[in-house]
Amino acid sequence: MDIFLDTANLEEIEQAVSWGVLDGVTTNPTLLPKEMERTGKGPREILEEICRIVDGPVSAEVVSTDAEGMFREGLELAEIHENIVVKIPMTPEGMRATKRLRQEGIAVNVTLIFSPSQALLAAKAGAAFVSPFVGRIDDVSGDGMELVSQIVQIFDNYGVEAEVLAASLRHPRHVVEAALVGADIATMPFSVLQKLFHHPLTDVGLEKFLADWEKAGRPEIRTPPSPSESR
Ligand code: E4P
């Protein structure tokens, strides 16, 4: 399963890339303004920088609600970098725009998916990615992961090529469950990615190894000198 960050924060993206664990990024109209405020940069500049930092798909969302507007915005966003994936909301107008963008060879991530039927329609319209929102379904007492599981099964049944991008993940358990049900990608906030590293037994184990090495007088691990060097 690929790991994406759901953020526009350039420092967070840089850090995740340095760990060697990041496959892509998703942004949205809530996340980009936060980074604009933090850095004073414009949305285009931020998206360009994200594409420079991460070598993988970077979702950028349209804000028009009519098909023509979404299509035009999509063309502009796609011009920023070849890795930009245009994020389009799951509406009939959105599917019209998806179909047209696909015809132009532009990858689309259909967002705000809350039912298997929406995912099926998005894939039919030509989406490269579909994004079920797990946490927001859990928030209203539903079962977000069950939705991801159903979409994975339906896509498997028919060999649908669109990738299932589990979104709105709120904690490490969500990430593990997304992997267990076969999501292709999990996108998560930086705080969730950080939590994935931690296990108390790792901390305890490391502390003990270091203490034991200290007790042994910190022996040197060095290649012994060759006979010619020691003469
Ligand atoms: C996905 O692409 C969305 O940007 C995101 O996962 C939404 O998450 P939220 O429900 O935590 O806002």
pLDDT recorded at residue 230:
60
The predicted pLDDT at position 229 comes to: 66
Q: What angle do CA 68, 48, 86 make, to 5 degrees?
A: 30
- The response to whether residue 69 sits with its C-beta less than 6 Å from ligand 1 reads no
Residue 226: predicted pLDDT: 76
Distance CA 58, CA 161 (A): 19
How far apart CA 74 and CA 106 sit, in angstroms, is 8
pLDDT on residue 134: 98
User: Which domains, ranges and CATH numbers included, belong to the chain?
Assistant: 2-230 (3.20.20.70)
For residue 188, which atom of ligand 1 is closest to its CA?
A: 6
Q: What is the pLDDT of residues 41-68, one digit of tens each?
A: 999 999 999 999 999 999 999 999 999 9
Among protein residues, the one whose CA lies closest to atom 10 of ligand 1: 168
pLDDT at 191 over 70: yes
- CA–centroid distance, 128 to ligand 1, in Å, is 18
pLDDT band at 35 (very low <50, low <70, confident <90, very high): very high
Q: What is the pLDDT of residue 125?
A: 98
Distances in Å between the Cα of 215 and the Cα atoms of 56, 204, 206, 212, 220 are: 46, 16, 14, 5, 13
pLDDT tens digits, one per residue of 68-126? 999 999 999 999 999 999 999 999 999 999 999 999 999 999 999 999 999 999 999 99
CA distance 82 to 80: 7
More confident residue, 207 or 227: 207
- CA torsion angle 37 42 44 50 (round to 10): -40
